[in-house]
Amino acid sequence: MIGLIFGPPGSGKGTQAARIHSELDLAHLSTGEILRAEAARRSELGLEAARLMKEGHLVPDRLLVPIIRARLQERRGRTRGVLLDGFPRTVEQARALDAMLAKDGRRVDFVVALEAPDELLVKRLLHRAAVEHRPDDTEAAIQERMKEYHQRTAPVLEHYRGAGVPVAEIDAAGSPDEVFARVHDALQPLTVGK
């Protein structure tokens, strides 16, 4: 099973992905976490990614696509499936993912799309900035990430809707438990028997 957790910065992708991972026994692949780990070990990729992330820009597809290809390959046949968190973030990445999966006769089975007003998202990210000091949680980087999301990432949802993939739209306002209750109810009919 291949699921995507999709949403703007601060919508709770990482938070909800951890819960879906436990509930459905899917491997959790977060591109944000992979890039932060690369940055921490100061690899060539990590240093380039860190510079872009700090400004709120997306990391180029040429860097992300091979990482996802390798990670999906590693997990093939070893887990019930994979939940991708933060990938694809552009229509080009979505097409690359679809092509990788199609080679094995697979496709994206469901998309969980978290939705919340920008004001709420900015408030959450500024709160995280105060607590965790993530380099991309500055006000300027947050504004840029929101812009990138609306211009380049939001069209990914239309890509999957157009391909007939079930998309569960979830109101991401409320506590993590409240949001997860909605995710859980929406996923039930999409994953039963898989």
Q: Which residues of the chain form contacts with ligand B4P (CB under 6 A)?
A: 9-15, 31-32, 35, 52-53, 58-59, 64, 86-87, 89, 93, 124, 128, 136, 145, 174-176, 179
Pick from 57, 53, 83: nearest CA to 71: 83
Nearer to ligand B4P, 124 or 159 (CB): 124
**Which helix H or strand E contains 85, and what residues bound it?**
strand 82-85
Q: How many residues does the chain have?
A: 194
Nearer to ligand B4P, 59 or 72 (CB): 59
Q: How far apart are CA 188 and CA 190, in angstroms?
A: 6
Nearer to ligand B4P, 31 or 191 (CB): 31
Q: C-beta of 35: minimal distance to ligand B4P in Å? A: 5
Q: C-beta of 103: minimal distance to ligand B4P in Å? A: 20
Q: C-beta of 194: minimal distance to ligand B4P in Å? A: 24
Helix/strand/coil (H, E, C) string of 124-172?
A: HHHHHHHHHCCCCCCHHHHHHHHHHHHHHHCHHHHHHHHCCCCEEEEEC
Q: C-beta of 91: minimal distance to ligand B4P in Å? A: 12
Which residue has the CB atom at the shortest distance from ligand B4P? 32
